[in-house]
């Protein structure tokens, strides 16, 4: 084991197999965002949502090449951070701060709130607020969900991975039922006017406004596919990681794209885009397909929507804990946060931080789904872009290691894929900022600016103290 896997109290355990890793990556991709952000994106671009999904998939598919290269050479915990340091150490440190805003304050609340909404669909006559607490049932369910998976993550990566396997298995079966049940009911006339939507820009030609709406929808959909890229963060806990992680990436991302795209075709096909956007989630489309009180409707809600939400909560909690742990190892958080539990082999303090932050934001901000989604995507885009820049330069900065990869990609192919994906990511980030400004919501932008400033400040303080550890690939 390397120093990175041997903190004072315990050791991370290599217990994840290929199948468990694939299901974890699919859980990161096909999460609650599919059931809610799909409707937000449909409102931005109309039936061309299915084109927006392809657009948002392009940088992810391009990223597979550099990601397979890096993970085959040096699989690591918090790998995006470790690789990002090769591109720009200070920006990687700032990127972790951004992610530690985006994941606990964006991703975990997004999926936990979505889970709460779907569970409350099963109790239509229940009051909105919890008696005596002053919060909604949805928020209370969200807090309970995050707390439950915080505990599951604490007790070990292997049992938590098997929990993930079971949830994602149910999720895939429910999505396939939705696809096969809905396909015969598609009204193809719903796709006759593809480029429309509700995103309007003053003094902008309609064609340009529709183009911006299409790309903005793609930016919102980014998390529906790019989440699987963060399955690389468990490199120290995967068996034969240099082979397993690249294979898992390829299988999980292609599989997640196929499922997501077909679900979107069915959803728009059985409803027009205005109805889909107004419905706020895919539950309305499911009612049209199966009927409100049918077995398959309840199976879709529980096995599909609920499993999608909680499996993503589970996976995001796992990833967030590894980031906090690695940040502490590099001296940017208190050292105790790098401790690994001797009994269970998990970073208990690293997991506690995202749990606490997400509970606090749920109590303060409530059910702001679209804002949470934009925050999560911005943080993901930042870190993925740094990894891509590192990969694009790898044949020059680390020529020996580049040649040791089992995937004999030509340097020009890696650079082209990485740079093209990085440019698209930057465009998506800018559009997410525009989306937040159009929603007249500035607090996420302020939080991200503070996170960047704090991250850069921590780096340069440690550098001045000569305590910054060198960025290393191996």
Long-range contacts of 300-303 (CB under 8 A, 24+ apart): 300/174, 300/177, 300/178, 301/118, 301/121, 301/122, 302/122, 302/174, 303/170, 303/171, 303/173, 303/174
User: What pLDDT score was predicted for residue 199?
Assistant: 55
Under a CB-based contact definition with an 8 Å cutoff, are residues 35 and 118 in contact? yes
- Going from the C-alpha of 202 to that of each of 43, 48, 385, 432, 438, the distances in angstroms are 17, 21, 31, 18, 12
Radius of gyration of the chain (CA): 21
HSE value, Cβ hemisphere, 13 Å, CA-based, for 325: 33
The owner of tokens 């889970």 is 115
d(CA 177, CA 262): 11
User: What pLDDT score was predicted for residue 438?
Assistant: 73
User: What pLDDT score was predicted for residue 6?
Assistant: 43
Q: Which residues of the chain have pLDDT under 70?
A: 1-10, 32, 197-209, 365-375, 439, 474
Q: Structural domains in the chain?
A: 3-464 (1.20.1740.10)
d(CA 127, CA 373): 26
Tell if the pTM clears 0.85, that is, is over it. Answer: no
User: What pLDDT score was predicted for residue 107?
Assistant: 76
């Amino acid at each position: 084991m390397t120093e990175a896997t041997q903190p004072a109290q315990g050791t991370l355990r290599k217990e994840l197999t290929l199948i468990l890793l694939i299901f974890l990556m699919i859980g990161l991709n096909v999460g609650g965002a599919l059931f809610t952000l799909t409707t937000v994106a449909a409102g931005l671009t109309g039936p061309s949502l299915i084109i927006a999904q392809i657009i948002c998939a392009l940088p992810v598919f391009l990223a597979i090449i550099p990601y397979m290269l890096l993970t085959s050479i040096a699989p690591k915990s918090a790998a995006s951070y470790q690789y990002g340091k090769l591109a720009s150490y200070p920006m990687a440190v700032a990127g972790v701060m951004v992610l530690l805003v985006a994941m606990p304050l964006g991703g975990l609340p997004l999926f936990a709130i979505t889970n709460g909404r779907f569970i409350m669909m099963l109790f239509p006559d229940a009051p909105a607020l919890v008696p005596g607490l002053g919060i909604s049932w949805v928020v209370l369910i969200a807090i309970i969900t995050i707390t439950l998976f915080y505990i599951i993550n604490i007790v070990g990566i292997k049992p938590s991975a098997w929990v993930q396997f079971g949830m994602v298995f149910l999720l895939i079966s429910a999505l396939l039922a939705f696809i096969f049940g809905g396909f015969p009911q598609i009204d193809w006339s719903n796709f006759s006017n593809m480029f429309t939507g509700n995103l309007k820009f003053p003094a902008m030609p309609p064609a340009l406004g529709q183009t911006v709406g299409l790309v903005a929808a793609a930016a919102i959909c980014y998390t529906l596919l790019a989440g699987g890229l963060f399955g690389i963060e468990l490199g120290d806990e995967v068996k034969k990681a240099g082979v397993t992680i690249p294979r898992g990436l390829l299988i999980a991302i292609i599989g997640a794209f196929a499922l997501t795209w077909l679900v979107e075709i069915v959803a728009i096909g059985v409803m027009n885009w205005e109805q889909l956007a107004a419905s706020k989630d895919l539950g309305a489309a499911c009612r049209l397909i199966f009927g409100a009180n049918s077995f398959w409707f309840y199976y879709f809600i529980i096995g599909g929507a609920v499993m999608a939400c909680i499996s993503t909560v589970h996976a995001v909690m796992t990833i967030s804990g590894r980031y906090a742990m690695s940040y502490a190892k590099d001296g940017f958080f208190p050292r105790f946060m790098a401790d690994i539990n001797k009994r269970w082999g998990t970073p208990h303090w690293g997991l506690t931080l995202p749990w606490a932050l997400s509970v606090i934001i749920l109590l303060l901000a409530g059910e702001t789904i679209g804002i949470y989604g934009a925050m999560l995507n911005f943080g993901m885009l930042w870190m993925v872009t740094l990894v891509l820049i590192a990969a694009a330069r790898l044949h020059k900065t680390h020529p020996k290691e580049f040649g040791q990869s089992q995937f004999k990609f030509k340097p020009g192919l890696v650079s082209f894929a990485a740079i093209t994906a990085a440019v698209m990511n930057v465009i998506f980030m800018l559009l997410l900022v525009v989306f937040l400004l159009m929603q007249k919501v500035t607090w996420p932008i302020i939080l991200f600016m503070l996170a960047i400033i704090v991250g850069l400040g921590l780096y340069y303080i440690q550098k001045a103290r000569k305590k910054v550890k060198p960025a290393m690939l191996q």
